[in-house]
Structure 1
């Protein structure tokens, strides 16, 4: 993969770059502020950009705003938001458009490097990678609470796992249930959220997240 990294901490930026280089990936550019992200992507046209949220000058939401602008200008470039923070307003906007190739992971919840690289690869290939806590907060801020309240606790578990990009078989393994049980839960979720079922795994996940992400 060809990667651009936008991270204000030099230590984290260099460390992440070295980890990815060690695994055979190319770091096209590294920038320390959100304003430099767009020009770096314009120049290098990477497969994916890793973007922190709180960067100079105000250290509030510059990175996420830059990620949204990047997706509008270069929808073919994957964007993985990698931060300590959850910013629901702009996260919802990022996911509400064409969410193919979008990820949002929390730094302190990534268990190991392989997990991060797998998520980054999935995003670069047009998939999704969303931390369950991000999904939960998006669900909590959605106007569609009335529909979400129709879901059973088990259906909410399945929805969270769907959002992370898991297949039906992977969800069944995680929950220790049968594939048939998962298929039934997925069908119920789509019915209760008024979303048409799809045989395409990524499209169904993106449809759900797009729906939940509206604020």
Structure 2
């Protein structure tokens, strides 16, 4: 069983377009799907689930869509915390949060504090996140913690301890919905040895049954982490 599943939730806009709906309704439908997938992962015994909700590149989208996405995210933070507490979900938000409005930053802090005692599953939501940003900020954090040392002293283990997801194991299974076959600057370091599962399902259609299929596929994989195959 994978202990850390990460999902790039792609296809909300296309899902809405197929139904002649505005993109905002696609994102709203995708947000509802999150609840089902978190519950399914928890029931399977997955300890960590990470979701790519808003990338550093998403600011390039139309202003109206960005505003709608951030508004939906704030609503999610306000409405889902009680349910998370009831189901033992610990919420962590990672990414460059300083660009968000103070009220949103306050909601993020409050949601993390309210769920900090939960231990059944840790849900990491990546907002204004990029894998390259994560590695750069980790190197900067290490340098600040060791001002007397040169970068020659920096090791992989030391850098990993300063990544935004240092509290979680590396990704076992990375899923991308929506038919694309790329990881789009998502947890580049953490996914170094992840098994990659791509599906044509648009995110609002990605069901717990489909998740189960992905996990069953993962279980059959021969994970060698760079070593040779057995003779």
Instruction: Place the TM-score, normalised by the shorter chain, in its bin.
Output: 0.3 to 0.5
CA radius of gyration, larger in: 2
TM-score if structure 1 supplies the norm length?
A: 0.33
- TM-score of the aligned structures, taking structure 2 as reference length: 0.31
Which protein is richer in helix relative to its size? Answer: 1
Higher relative contact order (CA 8 A, sep 6+): 2
